[in-house]
Every structure is written in structure tokens, then in C-alpha cells.
Structure 1
């Protein structure tokens, strides 16, 4: 009996490691995607950035604008992910009760704490991967930026 439990715990640990690795890789790919979108936004809005700087915008203002955009994108993505996760959890609980008849009642438990952690983490991803494009935008020289098409 003990060896069976030990083996189940070992399998459970391996599954957690595999899922954690997949999640980490997905976050990295998503972060790189955010950085790429923000770099495209910087290159498309070079003239706008140059005009704002020529009119007196500080580099910190430009950087804040692009960081806020990156955080907003990641925040929306995180909120959508939480919503889909809640739906999946409810669906799995319903599946366990209605179809598999494993337990008479199995409510999905959604912790507000973990929802806040997930959305905060997605905002942190936005900050970390949006920082390079924001710095690049803030360092543009107005004269050069206005000259580009």
C-alpha cells in the first residue's frame, strides 16, 4: 500500500514539474511576443514620439507610455487567462460529477488570492518585457525621429 502511494506521489511530482516547465516556456514565448509587438509599435510611431519629444515630452513620459501599454496588454491577457481557467475548472468539476460520477458533489474552488497573483504576475511580465522597447522609445532623438517615414 505504501509503495503504491509513494509511486503516485512520484508521478504527481513529475506531472507538476512537466506542467511547470510548459508554463514557464509559455510565459517566455508570450513575453517575447509582447516585446516584439511593443518594438513594432515603437517603430510605427517613431514620428509621433519625435513630435512629442520636440514639444517637450520627457524621456520618462515616453517610457511610461510604452510601459503602461505593455502592462495593459498583459493585464488583459492575464484576465482572459483567468476567465478561461475558471471556465475550465468549472467544466472539469461538472465533468467529474455528472459524467464520471466520481463524487456526488465537487465544486470548483477559485481563490481570489491566486487570481490576484496571476494578474499581478502578468503585469510583471508586461513590465519586464516592455522595458526594452520603452527605453528604446525614450532614447529616440526628436530630429532623427521626425526625419523618418
Structure 2
């Protein structure tokens, strides 16, 4: 004889789903952090390599907000490319899973949410390097090598 308690099985399944959701959220948060650090690193190197250009632009009349806008635009473009690449890879993997007869559901809201998170991450982590570029002293920027 075998006795089963359906309520206990439903509870166990709910706990398992909650645990998996928590792990997936943690993985997503770590991925966003790593991606943000990558954006910041690229933008910091861009600012460092283009210090003379920034100095020339500031010496010829560019305001801090112009420099800030330029580098924030670059961070956004970097994030857009990364977000589109991520969506493309996810769709390809999802297509392969569908061909392998694994049940996969695509959601436009989830895709747009992921893309929005990529943009927000890019702007958030790109702001500090952009602010650093905007606050450069034109004289020091022109004399640096």
C-alpha cells in the first residue's frame, strides 16, 4: 500500500519553485553586475585613451554637460548592442530547445524587461566614467600623454 498526501506534494513543489526562482534571480543579478562592471571598464578605458580629445573639446568651448552627454551616449550604445546580442543568443538557444522538443515560452514582456535592464545597467555603470570625463581639467587633459 502507498499513501500520498497531495497537499504535502503541492507544498514541496511550491518550495522547489520558490528556491529555483530565487536562484534564477540571483544569477540574473550577478550577470547584471558583471555586465555593468564590463561597461564601466570599457568606458573608463575610453576616457583614459581620449583624454587629449576631451581637453581639446573643452578648450574649444564644449561644456561639461556636452562631454557627459557624449560619454553617456556611448555607454547607452554599448548597452544596446549588448542587450540586442543577449536577446539574439537567447532566441537562438530557445529555438534550439524548441527543435529538441523542450517546452519553451517566449514572452515579449520578459524580452523587453531584459533589454530595459541592460539599458539601465549601462547608464548606471556608464555615468561615473562619463562624469569623470566631464570633470577633467582642460589644461591637464591637453598636457597628458
**Alpha-carbon distance in 2 for matches of 1:22, 1:117:** 16
1:12-52: CA deviation from partner (whole Å, max 9, x where unpaired): 11011111101101111110111111111101100000000
1:89-131: CA deviation from partner (whole Å, max 9, x where unpaired): 222222236xxxxxxxx5x433333322222221111110000
Question: 1:128 — aligned with what?
Answer: 124
* 2:100 alignment partner, SS class: helix
Say whether 1:87 aligns with 2:92.
Answer: yes
Matches within 5 A, 1:68-147: 68-96=73-101, 108-147=104-143
**Alpha-carbon distance in 2 for matches of 1:57, 1:114:** 40
* 2:61 alignment partner, SS class: coil
Question: 1:13 — aligned with what?
Answer: 18
Question: Where do 5+ consecutive residues of structure 2 fail to align?
Answer: 1-5
User: Segments of 4+ in structure 1 off by > 3 A?
Assistant: none
Say whether 1:47 aligns with 2:46.
Answer: no
Instruction: Please report the TM-score for the alignment, with normalisation by the length of structure 2.
Output: 0.89
Instruction: Please report the TM-score for the alignment, with normalisation by the length of structure 1.
Output: 0.87
Question: Where do 5+ consecutive residues of structure 1 fail to align?
Answer: 98-105
